[in-house]
């Protein structure tokens, strides 16, 4: 019991954010698949199975080491581990969906589209600090009474005197 408590203390917020993003991604996929009017039987199946699907994605995120990394210092090569975890999860959820006896829990298009939206959400969650810093660095927020300097003027160098790529 203490191991579960330790894991939840350390990674609980990340697990919660991932589970919520999976739920939202699959709900968005369901809404897009049925143009906002999902049949009640699929909505009922969605409510029954979304926690298991979210747990499945979180399990594979852990198995692929997404929770043990320092994403603030991650390079763009780390996106491969996110792609691997989401692709594996999506393929296995699709396999379970196809092998399900009786009415399938979700249409296959919802599973695949949900996996794609989940991939986008996981990437944004992992690289959020870099995304925010990139946006704020490009478009600084100044009070309206201060003249906004151009990016080339902030550095003290003119753009034509800077070597390409520097």
pLDDT at 133: 66
Residue 42 belongs to what domain range?
A: 2-161
The residue assigned the tokens 């909505």 is 43
Q: Are 86 and 57 in contact (CB under 8 A)?
A: yes
| Residue 121, in any domain of the structure | yes
- pLDDT single digits (tens) 6-55: 777 777 788 899 999 999 999 999 999 998 888 888 899 999 999 999 99
What whole-number distance in Å separates Cα of residue 28 and Cα of residue 3? Answer: 34
How many structural domains is the chain composed of?
A: 1
| Residue 74, in any domain of the structure | yes
Tokens of 129: 């600090």
| Residue 59, in any domain of the structure | yes
> Which value, in Å, is the radius of gyration of the alpha carbons in the chain?
21
- pLDDT single digits (tens) 103-161: 888 999 999 999 999 999 998 888 876 777 666 666 555 555 445 555 544 555 544 44
What whole-number distance in Å separates Cα of residue 150 and Cα of residue 32? Answer: 41
Q: Would you give the DSSP letter of residue 163? A: P
Taking 90 as the threshold, does the pLDDT of residue 86 lie above it? yes
| Residue 126, in any domain of the structure | yes
- pLDDT single digits (tens) 54-63: 999 999 998 9
Q: Are 38 and 31 in contact (CB under 8 A)?
A: yes
Tokens of 139: 């478009």
| Residue 152, in any domain of the structure | yes
| Residue 166, in any domain of the structure | no
| Residue 54, in any domain of the structure | yes
């Amino acid at each position: 019991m203490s191991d579960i408590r330790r894991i939840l203390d350390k990674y609980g917020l990340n697990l919660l954010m991932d589970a919520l993003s999976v739920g939202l991604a699959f709900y968005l996929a369901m809404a897009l698949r049925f143009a906002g009017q999902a049949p009640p039987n699929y909505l009922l199946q969605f409510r029954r199975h979304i926690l298991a699907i979210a747990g499945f994605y979180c399990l594979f995120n852990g198995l692929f080491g997404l929770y043990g990394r320092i994403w603030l210092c991650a390079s763009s090569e780390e996106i491969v581990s996110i792609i691997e975890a989401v692709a594996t999860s999506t393929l296995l959820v699709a396999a379970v969906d196809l092998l399900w006896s009786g009415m399938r829990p979700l249409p296959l298009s919802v599973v695949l589209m949900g996996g794609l939206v989940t991939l986008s959400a996981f990437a944004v969650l992992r690289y959020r600090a870099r995304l925010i810093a990139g946006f704020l660095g490009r478009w600084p927020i100044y009070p309206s009474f201060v003249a906004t300097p151009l990016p080339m003027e902030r550095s003290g160098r003119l753009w034509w005197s800077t070597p390409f790529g520097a």
